[in-house]
Amino acid sequence: MICRILYIAIILTFFCLTNTGCAAQMKAVKGLSRVGFAIQVGAFSEVKNAERLTNRLQQKGIEAFYFRKDSGLYAVRFGDFETKEKAKKAAKRLVSEKVIGSYFIAPPQIDGKKSREVAIEKAPQPSLKKLTPVVPKKSKEDRAGDAETPDHAKAHSDMGAIAARTAERFVGIPYRWGGDTVVDGMDCSGFARAVYNLCGVNIPRSSREQFKVGDNISKADLKDGDLVFFGNSEAEINHVGIYIGDGRFVHAPRRGDDIKISGIEEAYFIKRFIGAKRYF
């Protein structure tokens, strides 16, 4: 009898511990999720054609975005499906409705692995005049508190570099996603969401919601792939960009403008810097 009671107690203890662990994990990634299978269409030489297809999909309530591939051609991607079969079913329906033509089912990304559509080679760095990044010196206490395990640091280095290099490939592309379509939030935050989507991570739609998740990062500790936020206050965040190193970040200034690189220490941004977040 005593043995049976002890056995039940051990089982209950194990159950509680494992459920507590799961809850902690869910809390740690609240607001973030992995991107499943996606539908990719098009191999356009003209960005306007990719933009036109994106708008057609958005008019149907589908959150789509276009991007430049390694080849220099433009493709459109959308969807987040649990299985390849569900993605195919949705694609075939759109083909039958003559919304899309041929398509490719993009598989989920794997941490630290290079996507076939993402080049991790460093893009040429445009010169930024009047840019003099100032990085505050850190105390011994701060440096000690920043220690990371080698595995965690390497994981961020890999995924952060991929996110930064992916963002750089958008530079110079006209940014006209959203407009008056039914899809909300396709502005600067939509650009950040599209880049992270290509890297296999779903983040919230608006910049304010994006700021609520992830780890807080100081300006002195910024690394490739971190999101940098700007506004009047944490309650009034109105802009976000993707940090790419050397005091620079990629962002979509406003609808209709080209995606560009700016310096985080430029007068306009230094006054409005609110904070940064890391999701890897």
Type of residue at 113: K
Cα–Cα dist 106/103, whole Å: 9
- Give the closest residue to 38 by CA, choosing from 198, 177, 175, 163: 198
**Looking at the DSSP assignment, which residues form a beta bridge with residue 65?**
77
Neighbour tally for 211: CB within 10 Å: 22
Q: Is 239 a catalytic residue?
A: yes
Neighbour tally for 34: CB within 10 Å: 13
Q: Residue with structure tokens 């959150």?
A: 63
**Looking at the DSSP assignment, which residues form a beta bridge with residue 38?**
106
Q: Is 152 a catalytic residue?
A: no
**SS3 label, residue 60:** coil
Going through the chain in order, the beta strands assigned E by DSSP cover: 33-34, 37-44, 64-68, 74-81, 103-106, 201-202, 215-217, 227-231, 237-245, 248-251, 260-263, 273-278
Q: What is the b/e burial string over 147-174, where b = at least 16 CB atoms within 10 angstroms of the residue's CB?
A: eeeeeeeeebebbbbbbbbbbbbbbebe
Q: Residue with structure tokens 């960005």?
A: 47
CA angle 24, 29, 31 (to 5 degrees): 130
Return the structure tokens found at 226: 């971190």
Q: By the 8 A CB rule, do 87 and 73 touch?
A: no
How many residues are given for the chain?
280
Cα–Cα dist 175/207, whole Å: 17
Please tell me which residue in 3, 152, 156, 188 is annotated as part of the active site: 188
> Catalytic residues, which ones?
188, 239, 251
